Structure 1
Amino acid sequence: MTFSKFLTALGFTAAALAAPMAAPSAQAAGTLTVGLTIDPGSWDPIDTFLVPWASAATNIYDGLTSRGPDMKLQPGLATSWELLDNNARIRFKLRQNVKFHNGEPFNAAAVKFTFDRLLGDEGKKGPQQSNYNSIDHVEIVDDNTVDFVMKQPDPVLLTKLAGYGAMIVPPKYIQEKGDEYFNTHPVGTGPFKFAEYNPKVNLTLEAFPEHWGGAPKLDKVVYRMIAEANTQIAELQAGRIDIATLIPFGLTPTVQQASNLQLVSITGPTVVALRLNTRDGITKDLNVRKALNMAVDREAIIKAVLLGHAKPIASFQSELSFGYDPNLKPVPFDLAKAKQMLQAAGVQPGAAIKIDFRGNDATFREVAQAAAGYFQALGLKPSVQPYEAPVLLNDIIPNGKTGEAWHNSWGGWTFDYDNTAYLMYHSGEKWNPYGNDPKLNALLEKQRTIYDVKEREKILQEVSRYVADEALEIPLYNQNTILGVNKRVKNFVAPADMRFRFTDVSVD
């Protein structure tokens, strides 16, 4: 496929590609404007797992812990924590003299209310509760101290507390206004407070000068909901948005060549693989799976389709993930050796291999076609099968109805390999329709009981090596987080997970 056809497949017309850049349109002084792909529909932390929610709401809310742009865990509304009672209890010391945007005090009662709500009936309605089910309940020790009483060990909990669902919310406000009102009129303790929300159009935040971390340098942050990539780029070029969050790989040169713009391309959490069917077809043979791993030239795919904005991977995690093993290297491309292994495995020329993928992912469509080309060069008869994303994710994969290979893209929001590995490889999990490996199950279960960081890291690295030895998938690449940023934006450090925090950002 030619480069122009590739761009057309992404939804860009020839006229749009050829159009000259519009003259910059002045933004209001002190206002930063960001393009988001979708409107989450609710700004309640327990209602969503969507990245666009976090790109905005990380400025409205704080958690007990937080992550900086370097993804390292740091104190948030809790200043310290300790394990008690043989790890059955975690005690948090809370930051004092903090208040919510409506003037309510932040205290132990607010923490207890937040987690009672998350773990109760209201939390059941959303997707976040299951991430925190290791917590039995929260006890108030005093106004500035809480204990999390645990049902079971959870070494990832401190990281989860920096996540979406664990953002601390105001008890009195929610009790008076109700959940439905809170969905569209959020209140937190973050550096920016809610000002206005027009569903599917925009969200406006204003600076909260009394934030415990210091007053923001900006007056306002405006989020515009722009679902089309070409529209986001056009608005970025015209100066009507300052940060675009939807930059297709094929159009990164457009941003790079604009004198008023900067392309930010950094290592992110998203990894992409072809998972392999270990129950049916030729891929139930380990040697066939190993041969397929050798037959795909990851570097060539990254260069041709992703224009270099990715890295090859050896396991289904990025280098930012806890549990990443730098000594585990991607399988080198060796088509001749792969052919020999197929022959030794008794695979007949023309044997079928099908790749199932999300049909709305234009980039992976190109990757799937490239992989099919490599499989054809191996002597196989490949086919590619697109599905609507909900069908693939909620029926084909979990019910074990895939072909020999299927598309899997994963963000790993905790930046901890447990969040990926347990869900992908433990028997009975939704994303593991075929595997039931007692040794792998035991390793995955063991690391969940261990709080010692080094010991747990060793087990997770052992999991990644075991998965590689069993060739349960073809790890392809870790794709970059890509943003387009107007050069008038100052002191902006792009976070890999796109959870923007604009406290120290300013605009010319």
Structure 2
Amino acid sequence: MKKARLVAIFALFSIIVLGFNSQAFCEKIINVGIKSADMGILDPHLSATTANLPIMDSIFNGLVRFKPGTVDLEQIEPDLAVRWTSSPDKKEWIFYLRKGVHFHHGFGEMTAEDVVFSLKKASAKETSRWWSNYKAFDQVVAVDRYTVKITLKYNVPSMLGLVLNFHGGMVLSKKAYEQYGDDFKLKPVGTGPFAFEEYIPKQKTVLKANDQYWRGRPKIDKIVYHFVPVSNSREMAFLKGELDVIEGIKAEWWAEKMRAKKDVIFDALGPGECTVVHFNMTRKPLDKLKVRQAMAYALNRKDFRLTYGMSITEDAVSPVPPGYLGFTSDVEKYKFNLKKAKALMKEAGYPDGFDLGKFVTSKIYLNTAELLQANLGKIGIKLEIQMVDHPTMHKMIREDVNPIVPYGCCRFPIADQYLTQFYHSESIVGKSTGITNFSHYGEVIPGVDDLIDAARVEPNLEKQKALWVKAQKKIMKDVPAYPLRVTYVVLARKKYVDLGYDLKSNITLHYQITEKTDLKR
């Protein structure tokens, strides 16, 4: 009898223990490999780090969003707003909010007050790195608990792009921000499918499923973002099954290696990173058109693409990357022609070339810098590469120290972003309004500002696109910069990872983990 009772107790204990273990075992956790040494900050208005984008994308919503898997401006869909209207002149916009949407960690219902707070914060220099995108905002007011009105000083190209789930358009909890203060950077509170749970510096960030998510509880219980800056370590962890998805190595051999694996899905997607070399026209003899034309003809785009691989890159031929609203390829392309480059150098008065001196770069840009040095060396232009760390490079190029600046980036996919940030005179580095105009274009050679400004306030889309085309044609005629290549985002996932959407491109430069993403082992 005693023995039977002990057996029964043991059996009951085993069921309880196994039950708990089974529950833990069944928890769906997706492990993501991030190409970064650490997280940075998760205040979307202050963050400008690519590594943070996929994390913030799962935490926050915007008023609208790109349909997952796309960056098509014609496929923007409702997010926190269920619908919106605009005045005929596109200067007044009214957004009607979704009711019953709750912030993470018990911070209450999302209302117009939170949206107004977030957009005002995104528009302020002191609290946002994206404030310049919102210069057209005149007023943002709460009409009532679930209605927001935005009044613009002038029409903006794709106004919806400013309120979607990307950096400045992400909606924060006002209550949480005021409670946490500066700590909000590491304690983000949004309304997205996943809530912030844990951060271990230089190791990982953990998000947990938002049980109250209005689109439905996520199929995955947790996302663990692992910070693995070393590519080989990231790949090894992926192949061993410790990571389910990773950012890959931008190289043809790596793409072929992943494509050959039966249990792996390889993805190369846009919008890619567009790399352009900017000529500082305040430096002689870069102020001479024929010199800049010669440099353009001397640069072989194929060489720059082969750095990564032909299947994961494409030619950049215009100041605006392909796939962006307003892009045109109908511009002067300056296809590689060394004979023509040498002839132009002779016509410009430099048959033997000249010395441009030092230019700073970082390890990330070293291959590009060495190719620039080699290509330009063939027409007698000398360059001395000075290596610095990446943050120092960014600081120095904004102090106007370089005669030429190779720069790669991805922006919101509309022509105005590239044209304004790289070619408008207000964006010239060193100015209080400076962003990334390294060539001093618009000031050394005036005229493009008028086209960019006119396009920004043009309410008719076709007329707006025509102005953007004119701007691109003018820029390529004047050659303040030379577009080199577009490099796609390179990712890999295990076949059991079901994204829950068709992947064509995305704005996060990584896989978007949504409420529909699942692990089907």
Do they fold alike, i.e. is TM over 0.5? yes
Contact 1:42 1:183 in 2 (8 A): yes
Aligned residue for 2:385, secondary structure, equals strand
How far apart are residue 269 of structure 1 and its match? 3.5
Decide which of 466, 477, 484 is 1:476's aligned counterpart: 484
Aligned residue for 2:457, secondary structure, equals coil
Q: Which residue of 2 aligns with 1:111?
A: 115
How far apart are residue 428 of structure 1 and its match? 4.0
Contact 1:264 1:484 in 2 (8 A): yes
Letter in 1 for 2:393: L
Write the mapping of 1:168-207 to structure 2, written as runs, cut at 5 A: 168-175=171-178, 177-207=179-209
Change in 2 beyond 3 A, CA 1:329/1:236 = farther
Aligned residue for 2:276, secondary structure, equals strand
Count of residues in correspondence between the two structures: 474
Q: Which residue of 2 aligns with 1:131?
A: 133
Contact 2:157 2:456 in 1 (8 A): yes
Which shows bigger deviation, 255-264 or 223-232? 255-264
Aligned residue for 1:131, secondary structure, equals helix
Aligned residue for 1:154, secondary structure, equals coil
Write the mapping of 1:393-472 to structure 2, written as runs, cut at 5 A: 393-395=394-396, 397-403=397-403, 405-412=404-411, 414-429=412-427, 430=429, 431-433=436-438, 434-435=440-441, 436=443, 437-472=445-480
How far apart are residue 304 of structure 1 and its match? 4.7
Contact 1:92 1:147 in 2 (8 A): yes
Decide which of 257, 272, 289 is 2:292's aligned counterpart: 289
Alignment RMSD, CA only? 2.6
Contact 2:246 2:491 in 1 (8 A): yes
Q: State the 4+ residue runs in structure 1 displaced beyond 4 angstroms.
A: none
How far apart are residue 357 of structure 1 and its match? 4.8
| Identity between Structure 1 and Structure 2 (%) | 21
2:249 is the alignment partner of 1:247: yes
Q: Which residue of 1 aligns with 2:493?
A: 485
Change in 2 beyond 3 A, CA 1:474/1:95 = same
Write the mapping of 1:29-428 to structure 2, written as runs, cut at 5 A: 30-36=28-34, 37-68=36-67, 69-72=69-72, 73-84=76-87, 86-103=89-106, 104-119=108-123, 124-162=126-164, 163-175=166-178, 177-249=179-251, 251-306=254-309, 308-328=311-331, 330-353=333-356, 356-361=359-364, 364-395=365-396, 397-403=397-403, 405-412=404-411, 414-428=412-426
Change in 2 beyond 3 A, CA 1:174/1:207 = same
Deviations 1:288-339 (A, max 9, x none): 2112211222123313544542111112332122221133363221112222
- Bigger CA radius of gyration: 2
Q: Provide the rounded CA distance (Å) in 2 between the counterparts of 1:28 and 1:483.
A: 26
Q: Provide the rounded CA distance (Å) in 1 between the counterparts of 2:360 and 2:263.
A: 37
Q: Provide the rounded CA distance (Å) in 2 between the counterparts of 1:338 and 1:173.
A: 59
Aligned residue for 1:247, secondary structure, equals coil
Change in 2 beyond 3 A, CA 1:344/1:113 = closer
How far apart are residue 343 of structure 1 and its match? 1.8
Instruction: Give structure 1 stretches of 5+ with no counterpart.
Output: 1-26
How far apart are residue 98 of structure 1 and its match? 2.1
Instruction: Give structure 2 stretches of 5+ with no counterpart.
Output: 1-24, 430-435
Aligned residue for 2:416, secondary structure, equals helix
Q: Provide the rounded CA distance (Å) in 2 between the counterparts of 1:452 and 1:256.
A: 44
Q: Provide the rounded CA distance (Å) in 1 between the counterparts of 2:139 and 2:229.
A: 40
Change in 2 beyond 3 A, CA 1:308/1:383 = farther
Q: TM-score, normalised by structure 2?
A: 0.83
How far apart are residue 156 of structure 1 and its match? 4.3
Letter in 2 for 1:478: V
Deviations 1:359-388 (A, max 9, x none): 221xx3223322322222234444434343
Which shows bigger deviation, 105-114 or 177-186? 177-186
How far apart are residue 270 of structure 1 and its match? 1.2
Q: Provide the rounded CA distance (Å) in 2 between the counterparts of 1:391 and 1:197.
A: 27
Aligned residue for 2:225, secondary structure, equals strand
Aligned residue for 1:448, secondary structure, equals helix
